[in-house]
Amino acid sequence: MQHNVKYTLIPTGWGFFGLAAIGDRIYRTALPNEEPDAVADILLKDLTHAQHKPNLLRPLQMEIVNYFEGVQVDFAKYKLFLAGKNKFTRDVLKACRNIEYGRTATYADIASEAGSPQAARAVGRAMAANNLPLIVPCHRVVGADGGLGGFSAGGGISTKKKMLSLEGSTIAAIESMP
């Protein structure tokens, strides 16, 4: 099913960030990369028709730029396009959005908040499929042992570490990683 997707690439201090939306709902994001074409490839994957709109959700764009400059930002006020995701995934993404800037939660914490306390591994799978990184702050989800766990968004675990450091998170895993 093809939707009326609009997108833009936002220059930030970390490179270009990709943002796609359907109406006023965020459809997909791509974390910064120095190469705008690489960001566009991730953002527009599987989309046959998407219209470039430089001023797309302009207030959100300004907050994204601020985030990568180290300003505390809360993206929870922005609406998400979650059609096609199952209830568990929607519940996990919503629970993840409740993790405050500079804080972390474990996969088990998210599973409990999503109403499935025994589903920590399934939370990991839902986070791995998160197509809204930063807006749904999956980088704030860590292992019960304090380890960073995984990160499937652009840049992998080093980006997760960098984002947590930017937010002032003090989990031991950040301090111990090169």
Rounded Cα distance, 124 and 11, in Å: 30
Distance of CA 35 to the CA centre of its chain: 19
Known catalytic residue at 96: no
Per annotation, catalytic residue among 19, 56, 57, 138: 138
Are the C-beta atoms of residues 2 and 57 closer than 8 Å to each other?
A: no
The closest alpha carbon to 61, from 130, 25, 122, 11, belongs to 11
The closest alpha carbon to 162, from 50, 31, 61, belongs to 31
What residues act catalytically?
Answer: 138
